[in-house]
Structure 1
């Protein structure tokens, strides 16, 4: 998705700036969204918001473990990649990170969710935390136009193992990275490393 929040010392209006907030330290928080996919809604503490009321927990919440994931997916006959992108099950995993998480956990994106074992669910949860933590430390992933609030790109792109690397050699086994489309989303994987 596109759209950014940036912090600035002064108001310099750019094309597609939609909202400018003055913040306590004399700086400004500016919301820019060229495609107008975003939404800003001001809520009071404790208010519910219909767009996120049905979201599942994020992978960092304490109760999100192998058993939690296994119970959520044991009867689902969809591929595991679609499960990772389903915010009603687990929130906060985007398409890039789903491919990277499955590579790290050595699980094929084609595997059906109802065929995952508890041990494989444990690998997915562990890899989710590992990959997302690395991405956060790198400032996110800039492929085209992502920038953080300080207008800096994310550098996790330099650490991607499979995403966007179709036809390149796997960093682990040197097999070629493959690209498929699942549920209208690009998926990248190594069929040698991700056999299960």
Structure 2
């Protein structure tokens, strides 16, 4: 609580203060004519639209149902490592939930998620895709596409439908390749070239 003297001191100190009448908005002046550089950039943007760096495709996808199990591994993955993945024995370091996404949005999210996993050194992750049980045709759209997309990504080493406690056939465990930083760290740790 302020005293009467404090208030009077404040008012005395502020007696010469005047309100700023100018607007506090920045004045942006748009150029009236387009520069040659602007016209060139505009022309280039129209002629060469941005190329999608995402390699995942939505063509030739085999339809899967709610109960189908996803199971795949690259050659060279040890059986014991794949068995541990299959039984959910690795700690889940990240998760991506695709529920209620369109196929196109899911395509972009999966591509970015796996790239982020490599960047941050995450090796064992889970993707929740749902079972598609409410679809009238019985096809699990996202699950079907995910089964095609994951092998298309070189950073994915293996995947398997999750244990019931993690979503069962509505989710998939994914093993991600080590990033260059993690590989270098292992080389330094174990003294290999």
TM range (shorter): under 0.3
TM-score where L is the length of structure 1: 0.24
Larger Cα-atom Rg: 2
Which is helix-richer, 1 or 2? 2
Higher RCO (C-alpha under 8 Å, 6+ residues apart): 2
